Structure 1
Amino acid sequence: MFDPELLKGFISDSLEMLDEVEPHIVQLQREFEEKGVINRDTLNEIFRLFHSLKGASAFLGLENINKVMHEAENLLGALREGRIKISAKHVEAILFGCDFIRKVLPELQEKETDKEFEGESQRVIEELRKSLMEPSEKVQEEIPLSEVPKDEDISERVSMTQKKVKTDIRVDLDKLNELNDLVGELVIAETMVVRNPDLKGYRFENFEKAAHQLHRIISSLQDLAMSLRMVPIGGLFRRMIRVAYDTARRSGKEVELILKGEETEVDKTVIEAISDPLVHLVRNAVDHGIEPPMERERLGKPRKGLIELEARHEGGEVLISVRDDGKGLDKEAILKKAREKGLIQPGAVIPDEEVFQLIFLPGFSTAKSVTEISGRGVGMDVVKSRVEELRGWVEVKSAPGEGTSFILHFPLTLAIIDGLLVKVNGHIYVLPLYAVKELFPLDLKDITFLPGGKKVIKRHGKLHPVVSLRELLGIREKERNEGEILVLLEQKGKELCLGVDEVLGQRDTVIKPLPKRLGRITGISGCSILEDGGVCLIIDVQGILERVGSGNFQHSKGGGEIC
């Protein structure tokens, strides 16, 4: 019996290794098809990773994994020695072996053995042997062997592991979450001390110096705790190479996946949550976006379609985009399906961005046929809901014949935000600062009424809808006054002027989830603790924008008051 922690480390390392090796395998075939030669460095890297996995599985007594890796090594060895020329069959067989390992690894945590997978491992081995025996042209130039790790003995392996532990350790995400929660409590405690109402009107020089030093240390600790949760998105992006390859092979498409911004760091929680949505978007781009090779040639496009994955930081957000150069979304087909389902009225004029958002409705699909890949209208709604669970949103851009872009927007941090504290009817609320564009005092004569009772205000040459936070939250009206403040909010390309009684200032805000018994409340994304121990609600800007609507306002004369 071996140490469970050793097995846990093997499982985690093996999954990372598979994420690394699968793109190399796909790249190896693509480079051979394009250049007619096998890239030695790529092949050697694949061989090295498989050899490491084989050695580690042998050390842990995982015989079936070891046998599959040994057979995969035989196939790779034939490629290295130039005895065979790589083909799609070889790539499929090797990836079949990777799939087997992925299936077995999660089971090892409980069973600590792979013996029950003997039948499946034998099928994989037969597939690998079959691909090796298939007739193939010999590669003209034999590829020389590079340095391959020799089989280390146990003592040497343990020594290497001990050296690695000194510089690299693995930490459970739950522990990082707990650390961030504690730092958040520390931020709240600091605020409660420094802004204690009992100190109001007094000035203590030494106390202020100590408070300033405390704030500096807590800020540094907060930044460090948040950075521990941030990981490069490249690992997730590289997994999509396999997804695009498999989908293209099954749909008869030719596709190249381009990765940009792999070094962009994203919260680990976001990485885990968007893996499935990203898989769906890439599959969707290949299956629905990219045209078949013959059709692309007829349209004057290259046979091979392009799909681009990109991640970048912009303002207080992380943007992850999936772009293709395919046929684009069929706006008329979407509108037709929406009318059939009674989602929009006949003759209604809807902006393109709102039309494209219809594809995220459950069961909505314009596909003429259902395939094993897609067409049932299941998936896009999951993409949107998963992104919104992370307080994000999905932007869609598309042009006929040019392609489609899905851009996922997420907050840079999920635990703490820069907040603008505002007061309404004696209660304090928090607005995310990244959504605040401007603050300005309300002047009643600038308000214009539209048919239906909607109100707008002209600012910088644009008309913006105006609504009070009091009305949105269902708070009983009070007598209005000229001292109110309008907060210009912007998100998803939509803008809104939100009326509040008072602006209290900027504050680091620790986000706490609402109690589960309250369920989901439209317009509220969470809560936080104030310095006096009271609770304030955090406003969901996206939620109130959707509730109010973007509004296509035509200017008309009039005046009045805000709500």
Structure 2
Amino acid sequence: MSGATLTIDDPQLMGDFVTESLEHLSQVEIQMLILEKDPEDKPAIDTVFRGFHTIKGLAGFLDLTDIREVAHETETLLDLARKGQLRISPAVVDIVLAAADFLKAWLNRITAVLEGQEPEQEPEKEALLVRIRAGAQNDATPQTAAESAAPAPKPVAQAAAAEPQPAIAPKLAPEAAQPAVPAPVSSATEEAARSGAGERKPAAAEKVAGEDIRTVKVQTSKLDFLVDMAGELVIVQSMVRHHPELAALHNPAALRNLAQLERITGELQKTAMSMRMVPVGGLFQKMSRLVRDLARKTGKQVEMESFGADTELDRNVVEELADPLMHMIRNAVDHGVEAPEGRLAAGKSVVGKVTLRASHQAGHIVIAISDDGRGLVRAKIVEKAKKTGLIETDQGMSDREVFDLIFAPGFSTAAAVTDVSGRGVGMDVVKQQIQKLRGHVDIESVPGQGTTFYLRLPLTLAMIDGLVVGVGEERYVVPLFSVREMLRPTPEMLFSVENRQEMGLVRNNLIPVVRLHERFGVEPRSREATDSLWIVAEAAGKSFCLMVDELIGKQEVVIKSLGESLKNVPGIAGGAILGDGRVGLILDLESIFRWEARVA
């Protein structure tokens, strides 16, 4: 099947093939990185061999000639390693990973056709086959110019790639062109390839912890719809519960039924949300391959360790997190970790280390990206910031404030531009994408010892815990994770700086006061600070007081889009339908704080 004639007769079967092949290629990458450290690991060799062998068989059954040929030649090379006739060297690892990238590129083309899109250009096959055959003769050739010029394959069906890679499901829904969430069931496609029949088998039962667990594959579109409907049900249930007539109801049986409805609705919502949660291990695995490739490109020795790979996060967050995490890993390897001679001179191991950690903290997930390299040098950052006009002086700036300058657009302290990094793009994009996910980035760095970036993210993009506050006749939702405390100010707590910036004395610290009614042009009930409520919040790494009229209550709200015309309004992250049926605007506190700083 060539690029000009890429037609698909059975979308369902082809969709199954793509899903199962992605699973095998995911394992190929994991095991090849293991083999690079331990070439004698026979189970790893067997796993990689079986992966290419299965893909070859399925591709032959589906008449995918290019995939079958590359998989067959790679299988031949790996068979020599299984028999002890070929040692797994770094050059052989390069070849096998190049073959895996080729297959991914083809899977990407198939996915494009399944989704009704134009497939990209075919990846170069002949040069790769020559390279694989040379490797089988223990004479691995360097990557050819044609191969190096070929674009790296894009992620295929990101939802599947970001999630744990299970075996293929026996059946796809009729809309097979849409990506689906894989589930661990029997491999019907492989059985079809062996038998020459396209019959589907029922889902196999899998023994887990002594119980029969049956799973099916579900389209992500259907799963998202289920989550949305569960959210709508929560909204309606909340509106029913807060209805004035029902609030005055004293019938015990009716109240019991309402309580039961609330309980069942809550459980349904939690279950629906949990179905979208996936481990970050798949994402960490991609970063492990990236570190390996960057180390070879930069001539450095770098290892990656990961912890908390089983920590679960909303699938949509995992997908959005891939690009910023990739930028940060690139910077850690290129800018952070020193060259071998530099590490030896500094008394370090010649092998640098990059560490990824994921953990749950207070309803959020925190991902830490660490390296044991040279660290951030304050003087160097300040010098560059002065040259570019970001600051005039660093007097009074903390290390954290100075480090945050690296997120400014176009900021880079790289001495030279490389194809890895150094063009001044990347870190500003990282911050924008993390903010888009309602998260924030913190930096810790010690010169000569390394740097750690902390990404703090919500577990899901669909819901948020918030404080519902009132300003005049309007309702706003303040994200609870940003709130530190609430208080009613006294006259002794009010200060002004140069007769223009209003400040509040909270726990012996002067922090800015932001009047929400001024930000959105709303008429408040009172302009006197002592008649209002201060919500001490944190945004952009700094604290400030958000002044509102009243606190209405705490509520878990379903986030709703405001549409194209209102989606970019500064200070607003979205909308929500409150328990009384009114619409409340969800606040983007970081944007509000930046606006206040500019005005001040």
Q: TM-score, normalised by structure 1?
A: 0.88
Q: Confirm or deny: 8 A CA contact 2:515 2:546 kept in the other structure.
A: yes
Query: What is aligned with 1:457?
Result: 504
Cα distance in 1 for partners of 2:369, 2:298 equals: 19
Query: What is aligned with 2:30?
Result: 23
**Unmatched 5+ stretches in structure 2:** 1-7, 141-189, 206-212
Q: In the superposition, relative to structure 1, how do residues 59 and 366 fare at CA in structure 2: closer, same or farther (>3 Å)?
A: same
Aligned pairs for 1:73-472 (under 5 A) are 73-109=75-111, 120-134=124-138, 154-155=194-195, 162-164=202-204, 167-346=214-393, 348-472=395-519
Q: Confirm or deny: 8 A CA contact 2:367 2:456 kept in the other structure.
A: yes
How far apart are residue 492 of structure 1 and its match? Answer: 5.1
How far apart are residue 519 of structure 1 and its match? Answer: 4.0
Cα distance in 1 for partners of 2:229, 2:271 equals: 13
Letter in 2 for 1:232: P
Cα distance in 2 for partners of 1:111, 1:202 equals: 58
How far apart are residue 118 of structure 1 and its match? Answer: 8.1
Bigger mean CA offset, 380-389 vs 280-289: 380-389
Aligned pairs for 1:463-482 (under 5 A) are 463-476=510-523, 479-481=526-528, 482=530
* Deviation sequence 1:199-234 (CA, Å, 0-9, x none): 454433222211110000010011011001100110
Query: What is aligned with 2:14?
Result: 7
Query: What is aligned with 1:506?
Result: 554
Q: In the superposition, relative to structure 1, how do residues 305 and 157 fare at CA in structure 2: closer, same or farther (>3 Å)?
A: farther
Q: In the superposition, relative to structure 1, how do residues 20 and 539 fare at CA in structure 2: closer, same or farther (>3 Å)?
A: same
Q: Confirm or deny: 8 A CA contact 1:522 1:543 kept in the other structure.
A: yes
Q: Confirm or deny: 8 A CA contact 1:104 1:117 kept in the other structure.
A: no
Letter in 2 for 1:121: K
Give yes or no for the alignment of 1:489 onto 2:537: yes
Q: Confirm or deny: 8 A CA contact 2:102 2:123 kept in the other structure.
A: no
1:520 partner SS: coil
Cα distance in 2 for partners of 1:164, 1:202 equals: 50
Q: Confirm or deny: 8 A CA contact 1:20 1:235 kept in the other structure.
A: no
* Alignment counterpart, residue 581 of structure 2, candidates 514, 522, 533: 533
Q: In the superposition, relative to structure 1, how do residues 347 and 485 fare at CA in structure 2: closer, same or farther (>3 Å)?
A: closer
Bigger mean CA offset, 338-347 vs 207-216: 338-347
Q: Confirm or deny: 8 A CA contact 1:489 1:497 kept in the other structure.
A: yes
Q: Confirm or deny: 8 A CA contact 2:561 2:567 kept in the other structure.
A: no
Letter in 2 for 1:517: S
Letter in 2 for 1:7: M
How many pairs were matched up?
531
* Deviation sequence 1:371-430 (CA, Å, 0-9, x none): 111111122222122211111112122121111112211112211112211111121111
How far apart are residue 178 of structure 1 and its match? Answer: 1.6
**Unmatched 5+ stretches in structure 1:** 33-37, 137-150, 551-562
Letter in 2 for 1:8: G
Q: In the superposition, relative to structure 1, how do residues 116 and 194 fare at CA in structure 2: closer, same or farther (>3 Å)?
A: closer
Cα distance in 1 for partners of 2:274, 2:567 equals: 31
2:500 partner SS: coil
Give yes or no for the alignment of 1:52 onto 2:48: no
Letter in 2 for 1:506: K
Cα distance in 2 for partners of 1:323, 1:301 equals: 16
RCO higher in structure (CA 8 A, sep ≥6): 1
Bigger mean CA offset, 192-201 vs 230-239: 192-201
Cα distance in 2 for partners of 1:2, 1:168 equals: 27
2:419 partner SS: coil
Give yes or no for the alignment of 1:544 onto 2:584: no
Q: In the superposition, relative to structure 1, how do residues 125 and 135 fare at CA in structure 2: closer, same or farther (>3 Å)?
A: closer
Cα distance in 2 for partners of 1:161, 1:117 equals: 35
Cα distance in 2 for partners of 1:175, 1:515 equals: 22
Q: In the superposition, relative to structure 1, how do residues 92 and 161 fare at CA in structure 2: closer, same or farther (>3 Å)?
A: farther
Q: In the superposition, relative to structure 1, how do residues 156 and 207 fare at CA in structure 2: closer, same or farther (>3 Å)?
A: farther
Q: Confirm or deny: 8 A CA contact 1:20 1:238 kept in the other structure.
A: no
Q: Confirm or deny: 8 A CA contact 1:64 1:118 kept in the other structure.
A: no
Q: In the superposition, relative to structure 1, how do residues 22 and 454 fare at CA in structure 2: closer, same or farther (>3 Å)?
A: same
Q: In the superposition, relative to structure 1, how do residues 513 and 298 fare at CA in structure 2: closer, same or farther (>3 Å)?
A: same
How far apart are residue 463 of structure 1 and its match? Answer: 3.3
How far apart are residue 117 of structure 1 and its match? Answer: 8.1
1:270 partner SS: helix
Cα distance in 1 for partners of 2:102, 2:345 equals: 40
* Deviation sequence 1:232-273 (CA, Å, 0-9, x none): 110110111111111000100000100111000011001111
* Deviation sequence 1:494-519 (CA, Å, 0-9, x none): 22222221111111211111221124
For the aligned residue pairs, the C-alpha RMSD in angstroms reads: 2.6
Cα distance in 2 for partners of 1:541, 1:323 equals: 28
Letter in 1 for 2:227: N
2:70 partner SS: helix
